[in-house]
Amino acid sequence: MLMRRERAYTAVAVMLDIGWYAGRQRLESAGDIADRLSMARRGIEPVLQGLARAGLLDSTRGPKGGYRLGKSARQITLDEIVDAVTGDGSDQGETEAGGELQSSVVEPLWTELERHVQTHLKSVTLEALIQRAQAQGLKRPAHAPIVFAI
């Protein structure tokens, strides 16, 4: 997981953006999300698809389509977000064969670090990140109410 941090970082940023701007009520387009994150739309689409497949996002197709949270922000942990885009987290076979020091010291250390990171990710919710943003003084945009005139 530590080796796949760019994709995990993007997924957390995307989920925070959707949680902040759309929540469970509004739809946010992939283009708007990409613009706010200063990322290419093509770069975030696989991440959005992975998050939707995992049930973390609801997606609606079409010109008025977009993404919204698939469940409450308090029910979504960073662990779920990272797992949705990095697979099962298994890094077996990714390291080259090494000597005694690597297998006796480095690999166990890496496994321990992974375990600590995983434990922390399980304890942090998307809601906690939204609260951090609010504590930093960031303001959610006010959406104009829909007015129907006959």
| Integer CA distances (angstroms), 112 to 7, 109, 116, in order | 22, 5, 6
Residue the block writes with tokens 């129907």? 148
* Closest by Cα among 84, 76, 82 to 127: 76
Distance CA 34, CA 48 (A): 11
What pLDDT is stored for residue 93 in this prediction? 47
Cβ-contact 68, 25 below 8 angstroms: yes
Q: Is the pLDDT of residue 146 over 50?
A: yes
Q: What is the pLDDT of residues 76-109, one digit of tens each?
A: 999 999 999 987 554 444 556 678 999 899 999 9
**What CATH number has the domain spanning 2-90+125-135?**
1.10.10.10
Q: Can you give the residue ranges of every domain in the chain?
A: 2-90+125-135
| Integer CA distances (angstroms), 1 to 57, 113, 114, in order | 21, 10, 7
What pLDDT is stored for residue 148 in this prediction? 67
What pLDDT is stored for residue 88 in this prediction? 56
Kindly compute the dihedral angle of the four CA atoms of residues 24, 124, 86, 70, in this order, to the nearest 10 degrees: -10
